[in-house]
Amino acid sequence: MMVLSYSANAQDNPYELPDPLKMEDGRTVRTKRQWIKERRPELMEMLRSQMFGREPGQAPDLHFAVLEESPEAFGGLATRKQVKISFDKEEKYYLTLLMYIPNDRKGPVPAFLGANFKGNHATTTDPYVMLPPPDKVATFAPGYQIEERNTNGHRWEYEYILKHGYAVATFCYNDVDPDFHDGFHNGVHKLMDGDKPRNGESWATISAWAWGLSRCLDFLETQKEIDAKKVAVIGHSRLGKTSLWAGATDQRFALVISNDSGCSGAAIARRKHGETLEVINRNFPHWFCDNYKAYNGREEKMPWDQHELIAMIAPRPVYVASASEDDWADPVGEYFSLVGAASVYNLFGYEGITDRNVPEIEHPVVVGRMGHHIRRGEHNVRLYDWQQYISFADRFLK
């Protein structure tokens, strides 16, 4: 018998979800025009002011420098580029993007873009990937140590991705904003906000990482080998929360993938299953804007829920993945945010995932422009996940 280590009971915490198609003034959204012109902006305003904070616009001096390039990556399978993406003239604020492009290509290729946790060198065995520069390492989270290459390689199945005709690009999230609370002085907030006083709606760290993803997309748009209209944004866990927000704020992303994003990502907050708002805001006070903290222990008072973050992706394809042992991220709640967003996809003429029975482990489901699976195992990204993402992306980006 299959043992599920998560609660398969959808109603273990009875809740009623806000209707994404109900305007704050009570009107019902009936057309895609009304969604685009009225309801989507209303929800974006809510998510900005109450959850992620207001992200800034373009960097003051965005520019790019290719630091290294070789067509010999992975035995000639791919061209590697390592690129410094600078946000200011002095190049005090920058990230280093690692990109692989399949050599076997006829024209511009689609791409996956996502941030990583431990440095580009930790995503691969490739010995030519540069280590994070010392000025960056000095600002990384306390206790951060340069680890060996490839410690997170299992999360980045580069050769598999490349052989399927996709480019792939990543940067270390610490480059944009180190993952600890120092009052927003150690990352791009300092550059973008200067000495502007912060308030309850000020953007926080997840928003900064998402902003960094958009700057990478700015760069990909300059690359003739890349079809920048076909870039999927992907992230795991806190970076899955980030990929969802990047997909919401930047509609240039053609497809959005949430891998085990859990609380404040895909998981329905009102279920209060696994990680709750109180816990996440206590442990990671820098991730969300201050107004979000008002909902600690009061999830049912939220004027939105996470299915509406998923709805911000519509009508673009969205994929939500969970892992069977990842009860902390609430796989059931992650699934139900898809179900809750389906009506918005319907508005655009696409079917959505509506089955109220949570799918079995490793039975991927794709309906219309929504995809889902629960991988057997722990909180992580594995080859199984990439196999599903590629076959989902093949439907829309090829």
The closest alpha carbon to 297, from 278, 282, 281, 324, belongs to 278
178 contributes a contact to ligand GTR by CB under 6 A: no
In the bound state with ligand GTR, the residue whose beta carbon lies nearer, of 83 and 374, is 374
In the bound state with ligand GTR, the residue whose beta carbon lies nearer, of 77 and 279, is 279
Q: Which of 237, 243, 264, 337 is catalytic?
A: 237
Q: Which of residues 215-244 bind ligand GTR (CB under 6 A)?
A: 237-238
Q: What does 282-306 look like in DSSP terms, one character per residue?
A: HH-TTSS-GGGGGGTT-GGG-SS-T
User: Measured between alpha carbons, how far is 95 from 12 in angstroms, rounded to an integer?
Assistant: 43
String marking each residue 256-275 x if it binds ligand GTR according to CB under 6 A: ------xx-----------x
Cβ 73 to ligand GTR shortest distance, Å: 28
**77 residue type, one letter:** L
Going along 144-192, which residue ranges are E strands?
Answer: 167-172
With contact defined as beta carbons under 8 Å apart, do 122 and 147 qualify? yes
User: Measured between alpha carbons, how far is 327 from 341 in angstroms, rounded to an integer?
Assistant: 22
Cβ 145 to ligand GTR shortest distance, Å: 18
> Beta partners for 318?
256, 370
Tokens 């946790």 found at: 117
With contact defined as beta carbons under 8 Å apart, do 340 and 307 qualify? yes
Cβ 238 to ligand GTR shortest distance, Å: 3
Q: Which of residues 275-294 bind ligand GTR (CB under 6 A)?
A: 275, 280
Measured at CB, which residue is nearest to ligand GTR?
A: 237
In the bound state with ligand GTR, the residue whose beta carbon lies nearer, of 126 and 326, is 326
Helix (H, G, I), strand (E, B) or coil at 263: strand
Provide the token pair at 110: 């689609």
385 contributes a contact to ligand GTR by CB under 6 A: no
Is 379 tagged catalytic? yes
Cβ 158 to ligand GTR shortest distance, Å: 21
Torsion sign across C-alpha atoms 249, 302, 35, 37 = negative
Is 337 tagged catalytic? no
177 contributes a contact to ligand GTR by CB under 6 A: no
In the bound state with ligand GTR, the residue whose beta carbon lies nearer, of 232 and 280, is 280
For ligand GTR, the binding residues (CB under 6 A) are: 237-238, 262-263, 275, 280
Q: Catalytic residue positions?
A: 237, 379
